[in-house]
Amino acid sequence: MDISVRKEDLTKYACDLLVLGAFLKEKESSLEFAQVNEALEGKLATFMKEDKFKAKEGSTFLMRTHGKIAAKRILVVGLGEKESCTLESVRQATATSLGIAKGLGLKSIASVLHATGIEGLTAADCAQAMVEGSELAMYSFDVYKKPKKISPVRFDLISVPAAQLRQIQKGIQIGELMARGTLLARDLVNTPAQDMYPGKLVEHARAIAKGKGTIRVKVYDTQALVRMGAGGILGVARGSDHPPFLVHMVYKPKKATKKRVALVGKAVTFDSGGLSLKPADYMTTMKVDMAGAAAVLGVFDVIDELAPECEVHGIFGAVENMPSGKAMRPGDVLIAMNKKSIEVLNTDAEGRLTLADTLNFAVKQKPQAIIDLATLTGACMVALGEEITGLMSNNDDLAGQVSSAAETAGEKVWRLPLEKNYKKLVKSHVADLQNVGSRWGGALTAGLFLEEFVEKTPWVHLDIAGPAYAERDIDPYTKKGATGHGVRTLLAYLKTF
Ligand code: BES
Ligand code: ZN
Ligand code: ZN
């Protein structure tokens, strides 16, 4: 979709659909609405009244213009009450509008800039949110089937004040990066595990770095992992015919800087559970288990264009978790890269085994902050449901920064405690640690297990087991399938540098 900003007259701009926003309980309609309504001889307001249109979030009113204005149709989309209108309302309203356009098979859409003038929302922010909402809504994964509907090809933001043109252009540009990174992550996760095995993730990392002077990639194969003592990654990989890899990507900004952040992703390309085999129903979507790494790759795909002034390391240990005669067994003891021994009581708690090594590898890069993303526990979904990420951290400042980045990005996170008293639950009587806790508080014991490998480095753990994959349509821009959750939070966080 080609997105641009134009200083055009609302009534004279030829397109298939013109979109106007409306607030609930507003006495005065917007100037734009008044202008279009007048050109339509007052019929827009009359018909909306007849249909009892209320500008609630998500509600829409569509009508033909019969040649009275250059646009063929007009769509009024509700933004809810002005006081509670946020960038997320703008994303949702834009996604709704584009969804309707796509449903009707329309090619060219124009829209006013929603929500400008609301306190705290700049024109650039609003434009960015509109681009995010539209691009994310138009996504579909069609590699393995014929697409059902063709998406619109043009989306223009029109009737904007000339003074804001450049700002809006900047907002569009950032929105496009946010969307592109997210959509790449969606594609990687949606691809079946038969075609997205550890070696493929390596190929993607290399392809992303190619031609970008700011990014380099180093890949460690089995032999190298043995040398490094990466017993966690190697232990999980044992049951699979696919060899494991540790991938280390580094982005260095053009201007030298001492700031350094590490992004770590869980990269289990398929999680069968291993010998502690999952029940069939729980296994169907387990290609999702590399969504953490997919988010990191999504970030790296756009990072040189976002150009944060901070060195960024992207790290993941790519493995497949399968049962076989060679697979690790319940009761086996693995030695992680930091020499801590781990008793594997359940081979399905494999993510923390791979993260033990990757987090420790991240620590060795001496970053000031580590953020990991992992589809780590079903327990986190029991706690927070399918739409909210569990955030755990050993550092309140970093936790606050990541939470507020998530808030701006429109991704939901909620902090869970790393309760010291629960530490005893991951202590083993035969090894330093065991890889499962008790029946209760599974998201927390997983977090506490990971904390054993980050030493004193400020660290945020994001358990994205719920939001990484939508089992059903969630909202107008989050449809069934991979969501690319985490990419926008990470980019919003990096943008603060
Ligand atoms: N990959 C799963 C967690 C998961 C569940 C992700 C649902 C996405 C959706 C993880 O490896 C796992 O199996 N965790 C176990 C841990 C348990 C054995 C302690 C779980 O949550 O049941
Ligand atoms: Zn598992
Ligand atoms: Zn897993």
C-beta 377 within 6 A of ligand 1: yes
Q: Where are the domains of the chain?
A: 2-159, 180-496
C-beta 275 within 6 A of ligand 1: no
Separation in Å, CA 153 to CA 98, 138, 139? 11, 10, 13
Ligand 1: atom nearest CA of 288 is: 8
Residue 64, number of CB atoms within 10 A of its CB: 10
DSSP 405-424: HHHHHT--EEE----GGGGG
Distance (angstroms) between ligand 2 centre and the Cα of 429 equals 23
Q: Starting from the CA of residue 274, give the closest ligand.
A: 2
Full pLDDT tens readout for the chain, 497 residues: 999 999 899 999 999 999 999 999 888 888 999 999 999 999 999 999 999 999 999 999 999 999 999 999 999 999 999 999 999 999 999 999 999 999 999 999 999 999 988 888 999 999 999 999 999 999 999 999 987 888 889 999 998 888 899 999 999 999 999 999 999 999 999 999 999 999 999 999 999 999 999 999 999 999 999 999 999 999 999 999 999 999 999 999 999 999 999 999 999 999 999 999 999 999 999 999 999 999 999 999 999 999 999 999 999 999 999 999 999 999 999 999 999 999 999 999 999 999 999 999 999 999 999 999 999 999 999 999 999 999 999 999 999 999 999 999 999 999 999 999 999 999 999 999 999 999 999 999 999 999 999 999 999 999 999 999 999 999 999 999 999 999 999 999 999 99
| CA gap 373, 221 in Å, rounded | 22
C-beta 350 within 6 A of ligand 1: yes
Distance (angstroms) between ligand 1 centre and the Cα of 348 equals 7
Q: For residue 204, what are its two tokens? A: 């993607």
The pLDDT of residue 146: 87
C-beta 463 within 6 A of ligand 1: no
C-beta 74 within 6 A of ligand 1: no
Distance spanning both ends of the chain, measured CA to CA: 30
Q: Starting from the CA of residue 319, give the closest ligand.
A: 3
C-beta 108 within 6 A of ligand 1: no
Distance (angstroms) between ligand 1 centre and the Cα of 378 equals 5
Distance (angstroms) between ligand 2 centre and the Cα of 412 equals 23
Distance (angstroms) between ligand 1 centre and the Cα of 426 equals 16
Ligand 1: atom nearest CA of 350 is: 11
Ligand 1: atom nearest CA of 377 is: 21
Ligand 1: atom nearest CA of 379 is: 21
The pLDDT of residue 386: 97
180-496 CATH pick, 3.40.50.150, 3.40.50.300, 2.60.40.1170, 3.40.630.10: 3.40.630.10
| CA gap 226, 214 in Å, rounded | 29
Question: Residue with the nearest Cα to atom 22 of ligand 1?
Answer: 378
Query: Going along 25-64, which residue ranges are E strands?
Result: 60-64
Ligand 1: atom nearest CA of 442 is: 19
DSSP 118-133: STT--HHHHHHHHHHH
The pLDDT of residue 148: 80
Per the CATH hierarchy, to which homologous superfamily does domain 2-159 belong? Leucine Aminopeptidase, subunit E, domain 1 (3.40.220.10)
The pLDDT of residue 305: 98
C-beta 436 within 6 A of ligand 1: yes
DSSP 347-384: TT--HHHHHHHHHHHHHHT--SEEEEEE---HHHHHHH
Question: Residue with the nearest Cα to atom 17 of ligand 1?
Answer: 349
C-beta 304 within 6 A of ligand 1: no
Distance (angstroms) between ligand 2 centre and the Cα of 350 equals 5
Distance (angstroms) between ligand 3 centre and the Cα of 490 equals 21
Element (H, E) at 90: helix 87-103
Is the CB of residue 460 less than 8 Å from the CB of residue 398?
A: yes
C-beta 386 within 6 A of ligand 1: no
Among the listed residues 239, 184, 199, 212, the one whose alpha carbon sits nearest the alpha carbon of residue 484: 184
Question: Residue with the nearest Cα to atom 13 of ligand 1?
Answer: 348
| CA gap 267, 201 in Å, rounded | 9
Contacts of 296 (CB under 8 A, 6+ apart): 249, 263, 264, 265, 314, 315, 316, 373, 490
Distance (angstroms) between ligand 2 centre and the Cα of 103 equals 38
C-beta 288 within 6 A of ligand 1: yes
Distance (angstroms) between ligand 2 centre and the Cα of 380 equals 13
Question: Residue with the nearest Cα to atom 8 of ligand 1?
Answer: 465
Q: Starting from the CA of residue 288, give the closest ligand.
A: 1
Question: Residue with the nearest Cα to atom 3 of ligand 1?
Answer: 377
Task: Among 377, 386, 462, 469, name the best residue to mutate to test ligand 1's pocket (greatest count of ligand atoms within 8 A of Cβ).
Answer: 377
Write out the catalytic residue numbers: 278, 352
* Residue 441 phi, psi (nearest 5): 65, 35
Question: Residue with the nearest Cα to atom 16 of ligand 1?
Answer: 349
Task: Among 276, 346, 350, 376, name the best residue to mutate to test ligand 1's pocket (greatest count of ligand atoms within 8 A of Cβ).
Answer: 376
Question: Residue with the nearest Cα to atom 7 of ligand 1?
Answer: 378
